[in-house]
Amino acid sequence: MNTDTPRVFVAATQQNDGKTTTALGLFSALRKRLGAIGFIKPVGQRFVEVEGMRIDEDSVLINRTFDVHTPLEAMSPIAVEPDFTRKYIESANSDFLVRRIQNSFDRTAWEKQFVIIEGTGHAGVGSVFDLSNARVASLLGSKVILVTKGGIGKPIDEVALNKALFDKEGVEMVGVIVNKVLPDKYEKVLGFTRRGLDRLGIDLLGAIPDEPMLANATLGQICKEIKGTFINASKVEASRRVKKIIIGAMNSSHVMEYFSPGTLVIAPGDREDIILAALSACSLWEAEGTAIAGLVLSGDLFPHQSVIDLIKTSTVPTIGSPLDSYTVANSIYSMTVKTLPEDSEKIDKIQNLVEKYIEVDRLLEKLRA
């Protein structure tokens, strides 16, 4: 296996801490400094179908964003399907999986100046099939950086727990990146986290302030999550970001008090009063750029055809969903908002945040040491 190309393994203390965000931003920053960068996600748990292959969605994101010039199957050698773990426990094939990961890394590192390896979560994820993040980092001879969520006590506790497993596998943790730090507590969290990590002998490589836009789903993502169908939205309107949601369960005159830019209004499809209120409010505000994000008609219910016709001629993106209003709202609140290749605004924001708040040059020095 290639042992010459510099590399770093990006892990996180738990899901949605910002691992993919960090990997994407680092890819951009390192490419500016070093040239050709490779990317691999050895074990992926969320995949999409690409030309008949099951490819981890983060590998697709990196490839489409940066045109990596590496076969997708090498960037995503193992996709954990729903029955993957059961089959492995019944008939373990560890040697085959290890060879596949190492061979894929060699293809990924070919003619590259550096390789970013993205893990699948905390150090222990994958242990059930003998490919924990800590073991994969060890197999690939990589040092690791750990991404954790903003705070003081809990993040430091979780970093210590993860470090213990990386230490057990002989993997060096070169530093920690704290993500999603509340702006009004930024300096306080930065100072105390640095001191807390110093006590553990761990370096803080940077802290990224919370950016709400990165966590805001688009209407297109929400439509897919709630098993919905657009009644009238164009591709541009489907890319609108939702800042907050409200359930229209009150009188139409009262619900309008909660309308604001970026609001998604959820209402049973037969609540014509709320639907008409949303349409009229949007027509009044549109010139000022303060229109609501859109409408969800829940419960597989639809208004009179005359109202449907108004929806189709309006600029309010409207989704019909078979789910009831509560389930729609709960699904949106609990959904994992991933960065998509077409999210150019979001990708630009991520690159700028990592360049500004992460000590990339210091990271390179520590990796070379």
345-367 pLDDT per residue, tens: 899 999 999 999 999 999 999 99
In a domain, 1, yes or no: no
Residues 197 and 318 placed together within one structural domain of the fold = no
What domain count does the chain have?
2
User: Can you give the residue range of the structural domain that contains 323?
Assistant: 219-334
Residues 161 and 54 placed together within one structural domain of the fold = yes
Per cent of the chain over pLDDT 70 is 97
In a domain, 2, yes or no: no
Residues 137 and 113 placed together within one structural domain of the fold = yes
CATH number at residue 279: 3.40.1390.20
Residues 49 and 191 placed together within one structural domain of the fold = yes
Residues 67 and 169 placed together within one structural domain of the fold = yes
CATH number at residue 77: 3.40.50.300
Residues 152 and 281 placed together within one structural domain of the fold = no
- 59-85 exposure pattern, b = at least 16 Cβ within 10 A, e = fewer: bbbbbebeebebeebbbbbbbbeeeee
Mean pLDDT, rounded, for 148-177: 95
Distance CA 13, CA 211 (A): 19
Query: What is the edge-to-edge ordering of all strands in the sheet holding 318-320?
Result: 229-230, 318-320, 294-298, 263-268, 244-247
Residues 73 and 86 placed together within one structural domain of the fold = yes
31-72 pLDDT per residue, tens: 999 999 999 999 998 888 888 889 999 999 999 999 999 999
pTM of the model: 0.89
Residues 298 and 324 placed together within one structural domain of the fold = yes
CB atoms within 10 A of CB 21: 27
- pLDDT the model gives residue 283: 62
Q: Are 139 and 29 in contact (CB under 8 A)?
A: no
